[in-house]
Structure 1
Amino acid sequence: MAVADPVRDGIRCMMLRGGTSKGAFFVAEDLPTDPAERDDLLLRVMGSPDPTQIDGLGGAHPLTSKVAVVSRSTEPDIDIDYLFFQVGVDEPVIGTAQTCGNLLAAVGPFAIERGLAQATTERSTISIRLVNTGDVAQVSFATPDGRPDYDGDVAIDGVPGTAGRIDIALSGGEKPLLPTGAVSDEIDGHRVTLIDNGMPVVLLRADEFGVDGDESPVDLESRDELHDAVERVRRAAGPLMGLGDVAEQTVPKMLLLSAPREGGAISTRAFIPSRVHTSIGVLMAASVAAGIRIAGAVGADLARIDPADETTGVEHPTGTFPAAVTVSREADGTWSASSSSVRTARKIFDGTVFARPRR
């Protein structure tokens, strides 16, 4: 049951870093059941709308303005349901059209911390349904003495230091890998590949937009004409991908691709969609890695791929993401894919958060 007064009494909340994102985690029963009331509360908790989010938990960037709501699953063979919310920073918007593969790394540990799931051995595997997309993930992590252990020697680009290894295996379910059924389409004069291997993305050639591919996120964000051109493609791509009108949504993500520079398979700059990602999301990387393994897809001719190696090095502004992806073509010509990745997570605080009285 939700607390009677989230302003004066507060709500149970845990802040965790998952991969290269950070978010506020809640047990579903601690929040209002009415969607409008819940969304208003989350905006007030995160301090939105405000570019600084000075009066809430948000960190003034989409990568740190995220919420995970977790509950026991009623689905057979599934342990946990994970509902993701992308909270607008300077706009009062709550997005649920996408999920977050980075925060997914922290869902299993959080579920055990809150008693929603039980550790089984020294290393536990939790089956998680991604409610936003319908995908199912198997997430494995260390649980000595029945508790998550966040310490370890695994480093991931975009996060300082090291932490415990978290393995994520994701199946795409029954939705098509290529939403239009085509390896490439044309939108606003640009050849594009529309693909969804856990995250709906649009693959674009960086050079068609006057981008070399090694620019910083700050540089790219300062180019208004570039943003407008990418946004025109994004809004046209939404209906083609079955997402409807995406003007107020944060999907699809827009990926500018160029030849690799640091020994990876492909170089990326990701619009998410108005800001440019300082690294890359787990599921964005999985979608890129799947796309460039399909002959004729945008970026396939730029990629350097070893066909014998399932791991695809997806370069981003702060390093390289190793995305392990398998892609296959069915007898009827449709493409499918599955992916796995290694992430880390860390519990930052656990306690009570107090919502601002009003927006």
Structure 2
Amino acid sequence: MVILKNLQLINFKKFSYLKLEFSEGINFIIGENGSGKTSIIEAISYLSIPRSFRGVKDEFLIKFNEVGWTIKAEISNLTEHNIQITYKKDGFKVIYLDGKKIKTFLKLFEIFSVLTFHSNNYNLIDQSPEVKRKFFDWFFSILNYEYFISLYKYKKILVQKNKALKLKSDISIWNKQLKQYSDYILKIRKNYIAQLNSIIIEQNDKINIDYRNSLNDKNFDDFIELEMKRGFSIIGPHRDNYEFYFDGKNAKFFASEGEKRRIFLNLVIAMVKLTQKIKKLKPVIAFDDPFNVLDEKNFKNFLEEIKNLNAQIIISSTSLKIENNNYNIILIN
């Protein structure tokens, strides 16, 4: 079981200095809107994949009038580890593990995972293909470092291809490089969605996720003429989609709001179980203000189910919606 024991923030967002202590079970971070609760969840998430889950650039995480920020954490994963991530305004970012500088976050990936859920996720079923792709890309990147790297390289090549398309230049060289990474991306997506579905069906046999591959056994070069006309890339993993089905029907159009919440909560449980299976560790689970969207009764039942998985849970909220003497309460002024 992976445990976040404590967290320190220095010049991060609104905090000059903040230190928080967490317990093994369920932790509530309570504070008013604007108190910095989401920034804390953001920092916790950063320890797993060093980038903001909201897509905020590192430079905008610096407290006003400061030159950089630092996140420090003590974690327990069979053994104790100390993590420090420091960013300076000049773009220089350094990651330390147990006092030693590391070149990539691969070492962090191996010892620590955080599954973070926030406002864009809670109504995932109704979101655009782009939002759903980002959600699953984030999750699959946590599970698989090679997927993260392949996706990063694919996107860099895609930028070059789109530049070439605007200039009406030959794109075959870029298509060849895109295929090198897209084959792996599609393989992992199909594999992980199949595994998620296998777990979900054991929980609720009415729920299914359909992964829609835009290439659909075709090649990038099959679309050269059309892409030249349009001036941008129209096919590839960056155009794929995921659809959720409930009782055989597309949940986006036919499921009730309650059923959509049930689908999402079943997905979260499946994600925790799949993380445990693939990474051989139990992730920290963080929720940012879930009660804005998820009702208290169902979320309480969901927490009990997650608790049975022996995972540490961290929840931010404006008030303690669920009474329980066993919860660790952290008040943010």
Query: So what's the TM-score if we normalise by structure 2?
Result: 0.26
Query: So what's the TM-score if we normalise by structure 1?
Result: 0.24
Structure with bigger RCO (C-alpha 8 Å, 6+ apart): 2
Structure with a larger share of its residues in helix: 2
Structure with a larger share of its residues in strand: 1
For the pair shown, which has the larger CA radius of gyration, 1 or 2?
A: 2
